[in-house]
Structure 1
Amino acid sequence: MEKTIPEKTVTSTGETKTVYRILFIIAACHLLNDSLQAVVPAMFPIIEESMGLTFTQLGLITFTINMVASVMQPVVGTLTDKHPVPYALPIGLGSSMLGMFGLALTPGFWPLVISVVFIGLGSAIFHPEGSRVVYLAAGNKRGLAQSIFQVGGNSGQALAPVITALILVPLGQKGALWFTLIAGLAVVFLIYIARWYKEQMEVIKEKRKNTTTTSPNKSVSRSIKGAIFILVFLVFARSWYTKAISNFYAFYAIETYQVTIAKSQIYLFIFLAAGAIGTFIGGPLADRFGRRNVILFSLVAASPLTILLPYVGPVIATILLAVIGIVLMSSFSVTVVYAQELVPSKIGTMSGLIIGLAFGMGAIGAVALGSLIDLVGITTTMILASLLPLLGFLTFLLPTDEKVREWYQA
């Protein structure tokens, strides 16, 4: 069997180690980037009331931003695998800044859609390139490094309820203008990251002159494709369920528990903040117990809790949302690392595929769930969505971590 030699995590001096300084800065940028995206669903209760939008239209807005991000991420990852562009990172956040201006000032539905296209494009550039920076800075702690990166993003998403309650409710749609400052701050940080990134790619380029890279044989290649195909279903299950909660649970809480818009955001904050915690602990657990085992536990252990959630009262719901968030999102960073280790010669492509797939599946889910709510109501939709984590049993079909290592050691 032929051996694939992946890129090494190096410093400018050629050493292999974990560069925590870069990891924490890129994680902070991930937080800022995803907080910009979080503004879009956070504005839903505001624009639904002011513009009279239907749930289907709200789903279409989510579909637009997520589809742009999902379709473009693997494209960006593939192109930058061949021709790295370090300064694409600050350029991407510049696109998001333009989108935020439009989001705050747009007068109607279709200009709103165009604005979120710019935000989605910025995200599509940031995520695969950000994941490559993480890979370069990870050293031998890939699970931990990816968790640090992803917890930044999940923390940014968790800010959505806070954004709604503290900024958008009192200021309305124009309150989104404040987030152009966040985009500008991210651009400054990413210019610094881009300089470091450029130095690392120059070191790798020199090393590749004396390194021969080959590919796995056809039998292993088929197994890799099968594993990626299964990952698609796992990401689908997790993404649709998380979109059901993050986009529509506020409406469910308002209707079922008779709470205000501001108070309904507490449920979302608990779920998303717990998800950030789960994302952080998932990587180190995977480093110790295996990627496949953590992915399996994440979905299968969460499924009985998600099924129970629609039938409990408001107090128990807050507890369940916290536990579901931790357990379900513990596999988020792990699926990215697992995919990178399946194809270690294409870090950008695999990062773009898996993270982009999460956006894309979430986009389709937002439209489907929004339309389903219009047809059968919010309660029935939440009950049906609660069954999605059961697809986690497909994880048993994935190759073990030991098998993946054998493919590249034999």
Structure 2
Amino acid sequence: MRRNLHITLLSVGHGCVDVYQGAVAALVPFFVAERAYSYAAASGVVLAASMLSSVAQPLFGALTDRRAVPWLLPVSTLLAGLGIALSGVSDSYAVTLAVVAVSGIGVAAYHPESARVARAAGGPGHSAMGWFSLGGNLGFALAPLAVAAVVAAGGLRLTPLLLLPAVVGAALCLPVLRGLERRLSGTDGSSATGRRDDTASFVRLSLAVVCRSVAFIGLGTFISLYAAERMDGSRAAGTAALFLLYLGGAVGSVLGGALADRWDRVRVSRWSYLLTAGAIAGVVFVPGPALYPFVALTSVGLYVPFSLQVTLGQDYLPSRVGTASGITLGLTVSVGGLAGPVIGALADRTSLQTALTPLVLMPVLAWLLFRTLPEPALPSPSGTTVSKGEDADAEHAPAPPGLR
């Protein structure tokens, strides 16, 4: 019961942080409307949020490998919220970039340690991490609605109201940290169990996450503008498309954990990426309102592997769990933001449809990379190491006499 409560609180707190990742893209149409930003300038705001985060997140991950720093959870949550809250206060482009970058640092500090805490709270299996990721995905999904509710009512000057989720998230993580205090303080942040690091597989996994990131951030940055363009300039149509792109992640994360408990993580991720390629093609080329089902399918497909990639990274690098989390949750995800200005510049010169077309290839590349990955062996309760297949064989083996 306490385990479920801890995961629930961590999941909601995760959502309160990831609201601010989703809020950056949700603010883009308002920056374009109120400040006449070009596509390239607007994508630069998204890049500012992701750039420092991409560099800082592995550094925070390495810190958690050296020592447990659970206090980072409430502090980083408040920092993430403060940056977005200040983003609409000044008309200066430089100031806007700076405060959005501060929010990115807060996000960077939060994820490696929260992933370690979530795995400690959830125990074995993949479902707990899936539920933890669900909270973040819901935060992403609610970001366009929160931004629209606040900014559409009174303009960018009301962004300070967006600090509220950070205050709630910081408060929710405190009872979890108290409840897990002994378990967390008894570790140095590393979860090494005598297993050897598989660095080559981790590198290939990281490249696959980069491909996913390019597709997701590219769509997240421009899907509102693209949907509005396809629906005769309707801002509501754009907000709905971005909401669907984030909401489908709630389904994908839980579905990914459930499927991985039945099959292995690599197989589930591989098939998900292959199906996602077709869904993105539908988003780009299917005309009119018919693009919405493809947006939803794209979201589910991109999020099924999300939490699985985090635990895969941790299991490929069992001696550096924090670093693995920082890279899979931070560096490789944020690197996708580097493609934003390229997409924006191409859209300025051609069209949004032309600029978004290359995104169809990203899940195909991720699929190819996952075809080269093994499912890492996991420690059994007895301390020995078993593969997914061996674990399944043991599960279905005949019971000894007296236990049948």
TM-score by structure 1 length?
Answer: 0.87
* 1:93 aligns with one of 49, 57, 77: 77
* 2:162 is aligned with 1:187: no
Asked if structure 1 preserves the Cα contact closer than 8 Å seen for 2:207 and 2:332, the reply is no
Cα distance in structure 1, aligned partners of 2:105 and 2:384: 35
2:371 aligned counterpart, secondary structure: helix
* 2:118 is aligned with 1:134: yes
Q: 1:331 offset after TM fit, Å?
A: 0.4
* 2:308 is aligned with 1:360: no
**Higher alpha-carbon deviation: 342-351 or 193-202:** 193-202
Which amino acid is the alignment partner of residue 348 of structure 1?
A: G
Deviation per CA, 1:174-227: give whole Å up to 9, x if none. Answer: 23211112211112122223323432123447xx9xx996463xxxx5xx2221
Q: 1:111 offset after TM fit, Å?
A: 0.4
Asked if structure 2 preserves the Cα contact closer than 8 Å seen for 1:253 and 1:264, the reply is yes
Cα distance in structure 1, aligned partners of 2:94 and 2:155: 19
2:312 aligned counterpart, secondary structure: helix
Structure 1 residues 129 and 254: alpha-carbon distance in aligned structure 2, compared to 1, 3 A threshold: same
**1:12 maps to what in 2?**
none
Deviation per CA, 1:291-337: give whole Å up to 9, x if none. Answer: 10111011112112222332212232111111221122100011001
* 1:151 aligns with one of 134, 138, 144: 134
Residues 316-327 of structure 1: matches in 2 within 5 Å?
316-327=290-301
Which amino acid is the alignment partner of residue 280 of structure 2?
A: T
**2:49 maps to what in 1?**
65
Q: 1:407 offset after TM fit, Å?
A: 10
* 2:273 is aligned with 1:299: yes
Q: 1:102 offset after TM fit, Å?
A: 1.9
* 2:396 is aligned with 1:396: no
Structure 1 residues 263 and 308: alpha-carbon distance in aligned structure 2, compared to 1, 3 A threshold: closer
* 2:245 is aligned with 1:262: no
**2:87 maps to what in 1?**
103
Cα distance in structure 2, aligned partners of 1:325 and 1:212: 33
Asked if structure 1 preserves the Cα contact closer than 8 Å seen for 2:210 and 2:336, the reply is yes
Q: 1:119 offset after TM fit, Å?
A: 0.7
* 2:76 is aligned with 1:124: no
* 2:20 aligns with one of 8, 26, 36: 36
Q: 1:42 offset after TM fit, Å?
A: 1.0
**2:349 maps to what in 1?**
375
Cα distance in structure 2, aligned partners of 1:390 and 1:125: 31
Which amino acid is the alignment partner of residue 374 of structure 2?
A: P
Asked if structure 2 preserves the Cα contact closer than 8 Å seen for 1:235 and 1:361, the reply is no
Asked if structure 2 preserves the Cα contact closer than 8 Å seen for 1:300 and 1:390, the reply is yes
Q: Which runs of 4+ in 1 moved over 6 A?
A: 403-407
Q: 1:355 offset after TM fit, Å?
A: 0.5
Asked if structure 1 preserves the Cα contact closer than 8 Å seen for 2:86 and 2:159, the reply is no
**Higher alpha-carbon deviation: 283-292 or 398-407:** 398-407
Which amino acid is the alignment partner of residue 271 of structure 1?
A: L
Deviation per CA, 1:107-130: give whole Å up to 9, x if none. Answer: 210000111122111111111111
Cα distance in structure 2, aligned partners of 1:301 and 1:18: 37
Structure 1 residues 28 and 41: alpha-carbon distance in aligned structure 2, compared to 1, 3 A threshold: same
**1:347 maps to what in 2?**
321
**Higher alpha-carbon deviation: 306-315 or 170-179:** 306-315
Asked if structure 1 preserves the Cα contact closer than 8 Å seen for 2:218 and 2:337, the reply is no
**1:230 maps to what in 2?**
204
CA RMSD of aligned residues (A): 2.5
Structure 1 residues 246 and 404: alpha-carbon distance in aligned structure 2, compared to 1, 3 A threshold: farther
2:68 aligned counterpart, secondary structure: coil
Which amino acid is the alignment partner of residue 294 of structure 2?
A: L
Which amino acid is the alignment partner of residue 249 of structure 1?
A: I
Q: 1:404 offset after TM fit, Å?
A: 10
Cα distance in structure 2, aligned partners of 1:111 and 1:204: 40
Which amino acid is the alignment partner of residue 181 of structure 1?
A: L
1:232 aligned counterpart, secondary structure: helix
Cα distance in structure 2, aligned partners of 1:227 and 1:353: 14
1:166 aligned counterpart, secondary structure: helix
Which amino acid is the alignment partner of residue 52 of structure 2?
A: V
Cα distance in structure 2, aligned partners of 1:147 and 1:38: 19
Q: 1:39 offset after TM fit, Å?
A: 1.9
Asked if structure 2 preserves the Cα contact closer than 8 Å seen for 1:240 and 1:362, the reply is yes
Q: 1:272 offset after TM fit, Å?
A: 1.4
Name stretches of at least 5 consecutive residues in structure 2 with no aligned partner.
388-404
Which amino acid is the alignment partner of residue 159 of structure 2?
A: A
Deviation per CA, 1:69-124: give whole Å up to 9, x if none. Answer: 22111111111111111211111123224313421312210000111122111111
Which amino acid is the alignment partner of residue 251 of structure 1?
A: L
**1:4 maps to what in 2?**
none
Deviation per CA, 1:107-166: give whole Å up to 9, x if none. Answer: 21000011112211111111111101111012122x111111111111111113312432
**1:3 maps to what in 2?**
none
Cα distance in structure 1, aligned partners of 2:292 and 2:56: 36
Which amino acid is the alignment partner of residue 158 of structure 1?
A: A
* 2:311 is aligned with 1:337: yes
Asked if structure 2 preserves the Cα contact closer than 8 Å seen for 1:291 and 1:401, the reply is no
Which amino acid is the alignment partner of residue 96 of structure 2?
A: L
Q: 1:403 offset after TM fit, Å?
A: 9.4
Name stretches of at least 5 consecutive residues in structure 1 with no aligned partner.
1-16
Asked if structure 2 preserves the Cα contact closer than 8 Å seen for 1:240 and 1:388, the reply is yes
Cα distance in structure 2, aligned partners of 1:190 and 1:403: 29
Cα distance in structure 1, aligned partners of 2:195 and 2:40: 45
Asked if structure 2 preserves the Cα contact closer than 8 Å seen for 1:157 and 1:272, the reply is yes
Number of aligned pairs?
Answer: 383
